Amino acid sequence: MMKRKSIIILIIILMVTIPIVFSVFYNDKGLVIEVKKNKKLGFLTNYYIYIPKGINKSQLNYILVEPNNTGKVSDDHLVHEKNVLKKIELGFSRQIADELKVPLLIPVFDRLESNWKMYTHALDRDTLQNKDGDLRRIDLQLLNMVDDATQILRDKKIKVSKKFLLTGFSASGNFVNRFAVLHPERVQSVVAGGVNCMPILPEPKLGDEKLIYPIGIYDIEEISGQKFDFSKYSQIPQYIYMGSDDENDTLFYDDAFSDKERKLIISVLGIKMHDRWKISKEVYRKLGLPVELVMYKGIGHKINNEVKNDIILFLKRTIN
Write down the pLDDT at residue 21.
Answer: 53
Instruction: Enumerate residues 6+ apart whose C-beta is below 8 A from 152.
Output: 22, 33, 35, 49
Closest CA to 68 of 152, 161, 135: 135
- Domain contains 59: yes
Write down the pLDDT at residue 15.
Answer: 40
- Domain contains 5: no
Q: Per-residue pLDDT tens for 194-212?
A: 999 999 999 999 999 999 9
Instruction: Enumerate residues 6+ apart whose C-beta is below 8 A from 139.
Output: 123, 128, 179, 182, 183, 224
Specify the number of domains making up the chain. Answer: 1
- Domain contains 175: yes
Write down the pLDDT at residue 22.
Answer: 52
Write down the pLDDT at residue 119.
Answer: 98
Write down the pLDDT at residue 23.
Answer: 54
Residue 215 is classified by DSSP as T
- Domain contains 15: no
- Domain contains 13: no
Q: How far apart are CA 116 and CA 61, in angstroms?
A: 37
- Domain contains 16: no
In a 13 Å sphere around the CA of 79, the CA atoms on its Cβ side amount to: 12
In angstroms, the Cα distances linking 199 to 138, 171, 208, 309 are 20, 11, 20, 22
Q: Per-residue pLDDT tens for 141-157?
A: 999 999 999 999 999 99
Closest CA to 122 of 169, 82, 90, 75: 169
Q: What does the angle CA 143 – CA 145 – CA 151 come to, to the nearest 5 degrees?
A: 110
- Domain contains 11: no
Q: Say if residues 207 and 200 touch (Cβ distance below 8 Å).
A: no
Write down the pLDDT at residue 29.
Answer: 75
> What CATH number corresponds to the domain at position 269?
3.40.50.1820
- Domain contains 2: no
Q: What does the angle CA 310 – CA 234 – CA 121 come to, to the nearest 5 degrees?
A: 65
Q: How far apart are CA 149 and CA 103, in angstroms?
A: 9
Residues of the chain with pLDDT under 50: 1-20
pTM of the model: 0.91
Residue 208 sits in which domain range?
21-319
